[in-house]
Amino acid sequence: MELLGFGATGWGDDLLRGAALTLQLAIVSLAIGLSLGLLLALAKLSRFAPLRWLAQGYTLFIRGVPEFLILLLAFFGTEKAVAAIAQLVNLQGDIDVPKFAAAVGGLSAIFAAYGCEVIRGAWLAVPKGQIEAGHSVGLTHWQIFHRIRLPQLWRIALPGLGNLWLVMLKDTSLAAVLAIDELLRVAKVAGEVTRQPLIFLLAAGAIYLVLTAVSDKMRATFEARANRGMAR
């Protein structure tokens, strides 16, 4: 048990630091993934056909390919790009690959592909009459977007986005394979050092369970808030 304690001999603080990095990874990817997802959704709703095809092709690709592969592709792609740039500007010596950025890139690319479908669905779920009503009282396009569409978009998209958040939170564990010191990797290393892998991996599993449980509770709260004033 003292293995999981805090301080010099225990790994408890290391595990918590790993969990913090896990959350960081997930939150940064959420922010970027959501923005990309909105852009992709707009591309899919666009009147310009090639833009629609491009977005469609992108989601098809991401949905059919393992998350793990996408993360590895992002990681090694970044590595190659960094090396190429270093050669271009004639830098000498070893250069660290921005692992965290690569993982965020991969995770948010995945989130965006799924998120754009949720956002697109929510966009279309706002009744057309409301938009026409907005036009007829003389609102501009922008006003219609942020006064009428966006507030309702949020409410409709929330359950789907909440699901995707849970999926992504769990996907951050793949970053352990890229040697990023998030929760799972810390647990793996601790298990190797102390020769007690079972304890540490179970502890990591328990922490993930807490993270997803708390996320689920928060999602319920957000949904209740977004739905206030709505008839059931």
Partner 1 sequence: MSAYQDLKYALSDGVCYAAQGVTPESFATYCSRYVDGFLVTIELLALSSILGLCIGTLVAVARVSTRPVLRRGAWAWSYIFRGTPLLVQLWIVYYGLGSLGPERLGILWPLFKSGWAVGLVVLTINTSAYIAEILRGGLSSLPVGQLEAALSAGMSRAMAMRRILLPQAFRVAWPAYGNELILLMKGSALVSTITVMDLMGQTRSVFARGYSLETYLYSAVLYSLLAIILTLGLKAVERRLNVG
The closest alpha carbon to 27, from 218, 225, 186, belongs to 218
CB of 192 to partner 1, least distance (A): 9
Rounded to 5 degrees, φ, ψ at 229 are 85, -5
CB of 174 to partner 1, least distance (A): 6
CB of 198 to partner 1, least distance (A): 4
Nearer residue to partner 1 within complex by CB, 152 or 196: 196
Nearer residue to partner 1 within complex by CB, 133 or 202: 202
Taking each helix axis from N to C terminus, what angle separates 150-171 and 197-226, rounded to the nearest 10 degrees? 180
Looking up tokens 């995707």, which residue turns up?
164
- Write out the residues near partner 1 by the rule CB under 8 A: 60-61, 63-69, 72-73, 76-77, 80, 170-174, 176-177, 184, 188, 191, 195-198, 201-202, 204-205, 208-209, 212-213
Give the other-Cβ count within 10 Å of 139's Cβ. 15
- CA dist 191 and 197 (Å) reads 4
Nearer residue to partner 1 within complex by CB, 30 or 171: 171
Nearer residue to partner 1 within complex by CB, 114 or 144: 114
Nearer residue to partner 1 within complex by CB, 177 or 226: 177
Nearer residue to partner 1 within complex by CB, 6 or 61: 61
CB of 127 to partner 1, least distance (A): 25
CB of 222 to partner 1, least distance (A): 19
Residues in the chain: 232
Nearer residue to partner 1 within complex by CB, 110 or 144: 110
And the tokens for 133?
């009503």
CB of 74 to partner 1, least distance (A): 10
Give the other-Cβ count within 10 Å of 9's Cβ. 9
> Residue 58: which residues within 8 A CB-CB, separation 6 or more?
40, 113
CB of 206 to partner 1, least distance (A): 8
- CA dist 16 and 186 (Å) reads 9
Locate all alpha helices (DSSP H) within the chain, ordered by sequence. 12-45, 49-64, 67-88, 99-125, 128-136, 141-143, 150-171, 183-194, 197-226
